[in-house]
Amino acid sequence: MQLRLEVNGVPYETDDVWEGESLLYVLRERLGLWGSKNACEQGECGSCSVLLDGELVCSCLVAAGQAQGRHVVTVEGLGRDGRMSAVQEAFLEAGAVQCGFCTPGLVVATEDLLRHNPAPSDVEIREALAGNLCRCTGYEKVLDAVRAAAGTSR
Amino acid sequence: MSTLTGPTRESAGAGAHTCDGVGDDARRPDGAQKVAGRFAFSSDLWADGMVWGATVRSPHPRARLVSVDPSEALRLPGVHCVLTHEDVPGKKTFGLEVADQPVLAVGEVRYQGEAVALVAADSPETARRAVAAVRVEYQPLVAVVDPMEAMLPTAEKVHPSGNIVRHFKLRRGDPFGEAPVVVSGEYEVGMQDQAFLGPESGLAVPADDGGVDLQVATQWLHADRRQVAAALGLPEAKVRLALAGVGGAFGAREDVSLQIHLCLLALRTGRPVKMVYSREESFFGHVHRHPARLRYVHGAARDGRLVFVKAEMVFDGGAYMSSTRAVIGNAGTLSVGPYVVPNVSVDAYGLYTNNPPCGAMRGFGAVQACFAYEAQMDRLAEELGMHPVELRSLNAMSQGSLMPTGQVVDSPAPVADLLRRVAQAPLPPPGPTVADVATEGLLPGGMANTTHGEGVVRGTGYAVGFKNVGFSEGYDDYTTVRVVLAAGPDGPVATVHSAGCELGQGLVTVQAQIARSELGVREVVVETADTRVGSAGSSSASRQTYMTAGALREACGQLRAEMLARAAARLGVPEADLSWAHGEVLGPGGDVLGLPELLEPGPLERTVEWRHRPTQEVDPETGQGDAHVQYSFAAHRAVVDVDTELGLVKVVQIDTAQDVGKAINPGAVLGQIHGGTTQGLGLALMEEIQVEAGRVKNPSFTDYLIPTILDVPPMRVQVLELADPHAPYGLRGVGEAPTISSTPAIVAAVRAATGRRLPRVPLRPQDIVGLGEAAGGTDGADGAAGTGGRAGGAHDLTGGVPEPRGPGSGEGGAVP
């Protein structure tokens, strides 16, 4: 099938998409947007998190056809004018990045959290990021990063 | 909430403070790319004309391989080739220590998931269909899956050499020692997975010279190259590896997974080949932590001093050797913990079975032992009426103590101090009230609201552990580093080139920090790790920062010496009159020569191959010998709330104290401690590869659980910096120690809350509420404690091989 969608404000059109492909596969293998990661293929790890018409989704669980005509924001689309977003800057500054495989998903999920709740409590942060697995950091500095990004650093 | 405390902060070699030098919280050089999604991991590689590889794997834990018919797969459009063992041109087997694992199965498969054939196809989906279309005929055989039965002389042999890979014996003092207070117990550790997030992946490109270029996520480029070249029948010079972005490792990438397969496919198809394992395949594609059964008897005087420790440890290594021998060496030499014990008798066995192969995972042999010996210390404390910290401190090793191997502990060993620090850290406020539950969800069961506080009991537990740093037992362990110092347009530039693997731990950061401090330069380029330079050894065993720091500091020292010589010639004064500071040479009479002037004659380059101090093989009958380079120590205190009706645990707080010798990058050190502690929490409460009759039941992140941000409590860390005089900058390897003691500390807290023995990890709800199998344990069923008696009493471990125990025999319990 033919797929038209907008990613990070750029319109894309791609042919010969197999019906079984996920949005994640299209982003990575067809559009060359490697920022969204594939670690579990079943919506458990959050590494592939993107915003689909503003809604946080695991792109591995979205069929390519479901993205027809819709707007997708990936980690690559978060910064402006070649600069990092406040959330990206906070993750870097807090040392919340080790191997970095989970980082794009965590950054996208944090952007979504702060959009809905600009001053989350620790419990709200934990609940919002519970769908993003990280194996390196133990999440301590992830919490630091989110607090800093929210301006609620203690 | 984390603090760095230490008596001294040794300045870097050159003395001057440099921004983002040794001891600073330097930013990761790859961090900006990683937060922006622009860092290329091994699964993000791409090349023109690339095809996709995939693997046909055995569904049987043990079977005769009758035939492989690729014809149907080859008829699928878009399929380029199907390879079997007949297509392996060189050595047909590989392995980290001993080449006992077929590149592709020959004659027999020995574990579920063993690679049988390879395909290459135009797309991942076509490759997947081709894998399903390869017709493999198996004749299933009875699998050897019970490690206790595998040890019997009558057992079926998994390999012709027999099922015992290593029997490590440790004998010190009087093995039949008597003590007035004796406790014994039997413990079990389940099979843990490293569960890195970035799946095994890589890209192999055939080269014009008949060789191959491989980009791959790995922990040890040169060990991979040795095994790839042997299998391809090529000289090593024609196999060139470069490190691709690594999405975590934790031991699982020390062994070869898809490296050889990628190169075979690339050379056969003449095209670039990419492979990426799915999560399910990843569970079959790498080694895991050895599951273990451990029996311990501790004897103590009435004042609490340890008199003897006797132990028998059985580690299931699965179908192939991987690093089982080294794991057993660690388990055996570290078997009594960081305590002074005059009389020791330990037998540690590593086995072949038809279970999934096991090898390196963070903590490597020390994790299993620590879970058992720390449980024993708590039982002993209970028996003696002592506080667990008091008993441990009384027996704690310190600098000058003897290991049970006879090796002198010749650098700081602040075991008692670490325990004191976690014991004195502030406790969390009392458990959440019902009112909190609605807003905070902090009780066991969390947001699921499974309790409003009824049946919830709090407990506190302690543990301390240690781990050898670096490769032990006489291994020739070295790291190569090349440094180039050259003039650049914006000032002097140091280029650091090594094969040391950045896995996320921050090696790239510390390389740049060390070069800045040692050379006084601002700009440092860390080149991609590859095989154009000599081996760095493995990024494992908490060793890479230690080893790279040794090599890099030495190389930089040689460059400084060369610059002093240049300066002496230029100024016409003896070198002895010159000194180095802040990236400049200071001469007599106030002469100053900066790097730009010193580099005018041209760039300087040094390559250094650096070794840590030698270790010894241990005596095969007694385990005596100077086996280790250095130890890393950590202690934990865990506070938990347990729902005693549902068997759910909420870890409320974890305090950690660790001696790191010298924190080269304090922020990264904390990251290692947080992450390691969390992996230990996972082993305590949720992580297990469940193997039934040789088959993995839960190869997915839906069924194999790792801690989420909701499972992890606030973690406070106290870092000590007591310099090890034998180590570069005095540093100690950091990565593994925090994983070792967090598991027993959490389980001790659950024991304190519930009064149950809980001899097995991970804890399951049925164990906690008392519905588990025998190994899940109700009081008294799994061990004996009492006063008076000889070590070889009711629990006689001196007879060597333990009795075989079948399922349902009521003692010990089978793996679920």
For the stretch B736-760, pLDDT in tens is: 999 999 999 999 999 999 999 999 9
Residues of chain A in contact with residue B706, where contact means CB-CB under 8 angstroms, are 133, 135
User: What values do phi and psi take at A145, rounded to 5?
Assistant: -65, -45
For the stretch B309-329, pLDDT in tens is: 999 999 999 999 999 999 999
Chain A from 62 to 91: CB within 8 A of any B CB:
74-76, 78-79, 84, 88-89, 91
Lowest-pLDDT range, B73-77, B81-85, B269-273, B777-781? B777-781
Cα-to-chain-centroid distance, residue B170: 23
Domain A3-77 is found in CATH 3.30.420.40: no
Q: Which residue of B has its CA nearest to A95?
A: B667
For the stretch B673-717, pLDDT in tens is: 999 999 999 999 999 999 999 999 999 999 999 999 999 999 999
Distance CA B345, CA B359 (A): 25
Q: Is the pLDDT of residue B434 over 90?
A: no
Interchain CB contacts (distance < 8 Å): A and B: 180
Do the Cβ atoms of B804 and B149 come closer than 8 Å?
A: yes
Q: Which residue of B has its CA nearest to A135?
A: B196
Contact A75 B37 (CB under 8 A): yes
User: What pLDDT was estimated at residue B14?
Assistant: 38
Q: In terms of Cα–Cα distance, which of B468, B460, B487 is closest to B724?
A: B468
Lowest-pLDDT range, B152-166, B168-182, B311-325, B784-798? B784-798
Higher-pLDDT residue of B543 and B8 is B543
Q: Is the pLDDT of residue B13 over 90?
A: no
Q: Which whole-number Å values give the CA distances from B7 to B225, B659, B726, in the listed order?
A: 44, 12, 18
Query: Which ranges of B168-243 would DSSP assign to H, the alpha helix?
Result: 221-232
User: What pLDDT was estimated at residue B430?
Assistant: 84
For chain A, the first-to-last Cα distance in angstroms comes to 51
For chain B, the first-to-last Cα distance in angstroms comes to 40
Give the residues across from B467 on adjacent strands: B632
Higher-pLDDT residue of B779 and B282 is B282
Which residues have a Cβ under 8 Å from the Cβ of B609 and sit 6 or more positions away? B478, B479, B480, B534, B551
Per-residue pLDDT, averaged over B298-314, amounts to: 98
User: What pLDDT was estimated at residue B518?
Assistant: 96
For the stretch A42-58, pLDDT in tens is: 999 999 999 999 999 99
Contact A98 B671 (CB under 8 A): yes
Chain A from 88 to 147: CB within 8 A of any B CB:
88-89, 91-93, 95, 97-104, 107, 123, 125-127, 129-143
User: What pLDDT was estimated at residue B742?
Assistant: 98
Q: Is the pLDDT of residue B813 over 90?
A: no
Q: Which residue of A has its CA nearest to B707?
A: A133
User: What pLDDT was estimated at residue A154?
Assistant: 39
Name the strands in the sheet holding B523-526, side by side, starting at the edge strand that comes first in the sequence: B523-526, B491-498, B478-488, B604-611
- Measured between CA atoms, how close is A69 to chain B, in angstroms? 24
Q: How confident is the model at residue B19 (pLDDT cuts 50, 70, 90)?
A: confident
Beta strands in A1-154 (DSSP E): 3-7, 10-14, 49-52, 55-58, 71-73
Report for B153-167, B775-789, B800-814: range of highest mean pLDDT: B153-167
* Average pLDDT value over all residues in chain B: 92
Residues of chain A in contact with residue B505, where contact means CB-CB under 8 angstroms, are 98
Superfamily name and number for A86-150 = [2Fe-2S]-binding domain (1.10.150.120)
Domain ranges of chain A: 3-77, 86-150
Per-residue pLDDT, averaged over B367-395, amounts to: 98
Name the strands in the sheet holding B239-243, side by side, starting at the edge strand that comes first in the sequence: B79-83, B115-121, B51-57, B273-276, B201-206, B212-216, B239-243
Q: Report mean pLDDT in 10-residue bins for chain A, 154 residues.
A: 97 94 97 97 97 98 98 96 94 98 98 97 95 98 97 57
Query: What ipTM score was computed for the predicted complex, to two decimals?
Result: 0.98
Per-residue pLDDT, averaged over B114-139, amounts to: 98
Whether the CB of A153 is below 8 Å from some CB of chain B: the reply is no
Contact A101 B440 (CB under 8 A): no
Task: Tell me which residue in A39, A98, A143 faces B199 most closely, judged by beta carbons.
Answer: A39
Domains and CATH numbers, chain B: 13-39+478-611 (3.30.365.10), 42-141+199-246+253-285 (3.90.1170.50), 168-192+288-471+618-787 (3.30.365.10)
Q: Is the pLDDT of residue B441 over 70?
A: no
User: What pLDDT was estimated at residue B809?
Assistant: 33
Residues of chain B in contact with residue A35, where contact means CB-CB under 8 angstroms, are 36-38
Residues of chain A in contact with residue B503, where contact means CB-CB under 8 angstroms, are 99
DSSP SS3 for A120: coil
Percentage, residues of chain B above pLDDT 70: 91
